[in-house]
Amino acid sequence: MKRLLRIRHYVARLQRRIAGSRTGERGMTTAEYAVGIMAACTFALVLLGVVRSDAVRSALTGIVQNALGLAG
């Protein structure tokens, strides 16, 4: 009987330890997603600035005109 009580006590302690380790990292995924979203937004803004520049715009216009000239 004592052995059964010790086993139950050990299992209960182990369950509390496992549950405690899971709840300690709940916010980590949210923080990691927030950092990833901020990085993606920053990259999008930089890319938008590059694409809107005159040099890139004229290069893209030339590529499209050449492609349309070859097709027609």
Contacts of 51 (CB under 8 A, 6+ apart): 57, 60
| pTM of the full structure | 0.46
Contacts of 57 (CB under 8 A, 6+ apart): 51
Tokens of 38: 């901020």
Q: pLDDT for 29-68, tens place per residue?
A: 788 889 999 999 999 999 999 989 999 999 999 999 999 9
The band of 16, judged by pLDDT with boundaries at 50, 70 and 90, is confident
Using DSSP's 3-state secondary structure scheme, residue 5 falls into helix
Statement: residue 22 has pLDDT above 70? no
